[in-house]
Amino acid sequence: MTKVVLPELGEGIEKATVSYWYFKEGEKVNEKDDLVELTTDKATFNLPTPCSGTLSEIFFREGDAVNVGEVLAIILDNT
Amino acid sequence: MEMEVFDLGLIDYKNAWVFQKETFKAVKSRNPRHALILCRHYPVITLGRGVDRKNILADESTLVLKQIGLYEVERGGDVTYHGPGQLIAYPVFNLGYFKKDISLFLRYLEEAIIEFLYDFGIKGTRLAGLTGVWVDNQKIASIGIAIRNWITFHGLSVNIKEADLDNFSLIKPCGMDIKMTSLETLLGRNIEIDDVKENLISKFKREETNDEGSFARVRRGN
């Protein structure tokens, strides 16, 4: 099981808003695929998928604000 | 800093958007290391991810009549207008060679614009919490970027020609009641965009702060 965590984004940025999930819960994902797009101030950015597996749970929907360090989703490894 | 400059001249928004994505792929494969795309657009309204459609004040028929395109794009920010009187720069930079810091990159873009304005004796300023560059509380430059795998695209527009400012009345720029200004307005004389491009390009020098890019290359066994 791998947690997808919102990393440090830059000085003074404490949170970001989920703007787009590239996959739905239950779908297969591959390492390095774009997983989720987030928005902060005047920038959008992506989080790539940390490992291949199944996107088992999404904790924040599009439009939700997420704090740095919070878990966005869980990926179950295929192994 | 190794940076390839592409000057697309006056180009349709969509074509420049495609070019940006192609350039992004090239930078991702590390050839070139960084790129800077300069261009001007035919009149167009773009909607960033933070858009509230209420901020498009003109109705669709007005936009059709004025032949103004409308695109939803992947950059941050709300609604903005681009026209041929603006100088646009799309830096496609690999932030892997710098500090991976989104706010630092936004401040860097503002600094490039402030230094550009300084060449003309104009003091541009930042306003806390409002990304962009301002002169006496009027906005002269707008910023909206996208970052994928720490490579940037989209970028900034600087209002150069006064005649182009009228079309900002079609929208509520960035969702705020903002008065826009231009380089021509501030200087009170005609400015040709071709004459000021080099000034802007010269402001995009940046010292690389880490060698993560080449480290990644080593790890891949090349």
Give per-residue pLDDT as tens, A34-72.
999 999 989 999 999 999 999 999 999 999 999 999 999
Tokens of B57: 């004040």
The answer to whether residues B210 and B98 touch, using CB atoms and an 8 Å cutoff, is yes
| B23 at A interface, C-beta within 8 A | no
Higher per-residue pLDDT: A78 or B61: B61
Query: What gap in Å lies between CA B122 and CA B196, rounded to an integer?
Result: 14
Report how far apart, in Å, the C-alpha atoms of B66 and of each of B42, B44, B59, B96 are: 11, 10, 11, 42
% of chain B surpassing 90 pLDDT:
84
For chain B, the three-class secondary structure string (H helix, E strand, C coil) is CCEEEEEEEEECHHHHHHHHHHHHHHHHCCCCCEEEEEEEECCEEEECCCCCHHHECCCHHHHHHCCCEEEECCCCCCEEEECCCEEEEEEECEHHHCCCCHHHHHHHHHHHHHHHHHCCCCCCEEECCEEEEEECCEEEEEEEEEEECCEEEEEEEEECCHHHHHHHHHECHHHCCCCECCHHHHHCCCCCHHHHHHHHHHHHCCCCCCCHHHHHHHHCCC
Which residue in B103, B132, B147 is closest to A12 by CB distance? B103
Residue B222's pLDDT band, with cuts at 50, 70 and 90, is: very low
Which residue in A43, A44, A46 is closest to B106 by CB distance? A43
User: A45 and B147 in contact by Cβ < 8 A?
Assistant: yes
Query: What gap in Å lies between CA B181 and CA B129, rounded to an integer?
Result: 19
User: B149 and A46 in contact by Cβ < 8 A?
Assistant: yes
Q: Based on the number of CB atoms within 10 Å of its own CB, is B66 exposed (0-12), middle (13-18) or buried (19 or more)?
A: exposed
Mutation target vs A (from B20, B73, B102; most A CBs, 10 A cutoff): B102
Tokens of B35: 């790129």
Q: What is the mean pLDDT of chain B?
A: 92
**Can you give the pLDDT at residue B1?**
84
Query: What gap in Å lies between CA B174 and CA B55, rounded to an integer?
Result: 8
Tokens of A34: 């774009």
Domains defined along chain A, listed by start:
2-77 (2.40.50.100)
**Can you give the pLDDT at residue B147?**
97
User: B49 and A46 in contact by Cβ < 8 A?
Assistant: no
| B76 at A interface, C-beta within 8 A | yes
Structure-token match 């924040």, residue found: A60
Nearest residue to B102 (alpha-carbon basis) of B143, B54, B66: B143
Which residue in A10, A12, A42 is closest to B76 by CB distance? A42
CB neighbours of residue B220 within 10 Å? 6
| B70 at A interface, C-beta within 8 A | no
**Can you give the pLDDT at residue B211?**
61
Domains defined along chain B, listed by start:
3-211 (3.30.930.10)
The pTM of this model reads 0.92
Which residue in B75, B131, B148 is closest to A46 by CB distance? B148
Q: Is the pLDDT of residue B44 over 60?
A: yes
Mutation target vs B (from A6, A38, A44; most B CBs, 10 A cutoff): A44
- Is the ipTM of this structure higher than 0.95? no
Residues of A in contact with B49 (CB under 8 A): 19-20, 37, 39, 44
Q: How many contacts (CB atoms, under 8 Å) link A and B?
A: 65
Report how far apart, in Å, the C-alpha atoms of B75 and of each of A42, A64, B14, B118 are: 7, 18, 14, 27
- Which residues are registered as beta bridge partners of B86? B159
Nearest residue to A11 (alpha-carbon basis) of B195, B92, B103, B181: B103
Q: Is B174 a catalytic residue?
A: yes
User: B48 and A44 in contact by Cβ < 8 A?
Assistant: yes
The answer to whether residues B44 and B14 touch, using CB atoms and an 8 Å cutoff, is no
